[in-house]
Structure 1
């Protein structure tokens, strides 16, 4: 299987053949297939592994005692969940599959071996961590201050660029396999509100959503509508 993590990293750094071989080796460790709506890591469980998303969509989420769920991150192919997992003993959230997901399960020892004596790989892992934190900041800003339509427009712009850098966007058309309840849990809204907001984006001529594919009709206008500045994604 192609390694989307390497594809993403090579947007920023030139990997030596030996570094690429190490990262490709990590992507072949303990391959696991997870069904939709199943946990990859449970909330409050021991964090004994990191996971590299090879295929499919997953999410980080918090589950409340009354059953409510807050999605705090979407995980796409090429995303590594907590590369420095060996620095934390327990999970404070769950990682769940939204679609059929293929992951490589990597032990702390394998991560340590990959980094040891390879400064480029260590830099890449820190870059991944900093990128994750930057995305979290934008999500907090969205839930805290952006309007409903700004939140959804911003999320669509982010997903487009994140998928494009691993070769999973066809121009401005991208897969959108998540449900409206998933979007509601990610944006702090209700499913009814998401439905209305989607309709507003469609009638404005900015997007169409059909058969689990999102077509962005006017990327510039969508970015403006979502107050979207791509700098936080560190694409260059």
Structure 2
């Protein structure tokens, strides 16, 4: 796994005028695929989702998309890359509280909670699509199945947060690392983002440490141990799960909390 960062862009998106491109078809396809993994959508619903205007922007790693205290009028969908929800202590120490992959809508709860209580930041170079809250509310009011799909999405986000609490709070470092890799691989696979059983996870070891409550040195040791036991192979940002059954056992990983309609083995 890489140690260095991909670069930093510390400016925050303060208004939508900074978002310049509109690609409703390609963006909608990513969103639709994600919602279909967790909910039953009909052709009419898919047609409505394809019509939602989505404004795109590309970011470098370490860019704050939404900051704690913001009152956004947009929610965003991850189109490519990896985003993290983060909180900071009074001393400035960062805790990553969840990862978000392509198709996820990390701040969908902003439709009903007017003030953000955490930050959402890119952990890798990312392509992000923004959707207006008033548009999403109108869609939900008029299309109950889509509203249900969005609701399920936020409920699954909450389930992931709960799993992360036990992962950081009660599991040993080795198990934590195996578990987070299992989760990322499983979620990326469901979105068709894995080729030849190899996942591209270009996050830094520092970011993994902030997600797992471990030092960078400890993260490196746990990755080495997973490699030594023949569970994974790594090359740069590529992670190959050599022994999926062994990795899930090592990580105490059960997919139930991800609530996929057609879970992968």
TM category (shorter chain) comes to over 0.9
Runs of 4+ with deviation above 4 angstroms: none
Whether the 8 Å CA contact 1:34–1:40 is kept in 2: the answer is: no
Q: For residue 31 of structure 1, what is the aligned residue in structure 2?
A: 56
Name which of structure 1's ranges 16-25 and 192-201 shifts more when overlaid on structure 2.
16-25
Q: Secondary structure at the match of 1:51?
A: strand
Measured in 2, the distance between the counterparts of 1:88 and 1:12 equals: 23
Q: Secondary structure at the match of 1:161?
A: helix
Name which of structure 1's ranges 31-40 and 210-219 shifts more when overlaid on structure 2.
31-40
Once the two structures are TM-superposed, the CA of residue 65 in structure 1 deviates from its matched residue by: 3.7
Once the two structures are TM-superposed, the CA of residue 85 in structure 1 deviates from its matched residue by: 1.3
Whether the 8 Å CA contact 2:86–2:121 is kept in 1: the answer is: yes
- 1:84-99 equivalence runs, <5 A: 84-99=109-124
Measured in 2, the distance between the counterparts of 1:81 and 1:105 equals: 11
Q: For residue 154 of structure 1, what is the aligned residue in structure 2?
A: 179
Once the two structures are TM-superposed, the CA of residue 87 in structure 1 deviates from its matched residue by: 1.3
Name which of structure 1's ranges 187-196 and 78-87 shifts more when overlaid on structure 2.
78-87
Q: For residue 220 of structure 2, what is the aligned residue in structure 1?
A: 195
1:10 aligned residue (32, 36, 45) = 36
Give the number of equivalent residue pairs: 235
TM-score by length of 2: 0.84
Whether the 8 Å CA contact 1:150–1:226 is kept in 2: the answer is: yes
- 1:110-125 equivalence runs, <5 A: 110-125=135-150
Matched, 1:141 2:141: no
Matched, 1:226 2:251: yes
Whether the 8 Å CA contact 1:172–1:219 is kept in 2: the answer is: no
Across the aligned residues of Structure 1 and Structure 2, the Cα RMSD in angstroms comes to 1.5
Whether the 8 Å CA contact 2:175–2:251 is kept in 1: the answer is: yes
Whether the 8 Å CA contact 1:39–1:97 is kept in 2: the answer is: yes
Once the two structures are TM-superposed, the CA of residue 141 in structure 1 deviates from its matched residue by: 0.3
Measured in 2, the distance between the counterparts of 1:172 and 1:138 equals: 24
Measured in 1, the distance between the counterparts of 2:142 and 2:114 equals: 25
Measured in 2, the distance between the counterparts of 1:86 and 1:8 equals: 19
Q: For residue 209 of structure 2, what is the aligned residue in structure 1?
A: 184
Once the two structures are TM-superposed, the CA of residue 13 in structure 1 deviates from its matched residue by: 4.0
Q: For residue 104 of structure 2, what is the aligned residue in structure 1?
A: 79
TM-score by length of 1: 0.94
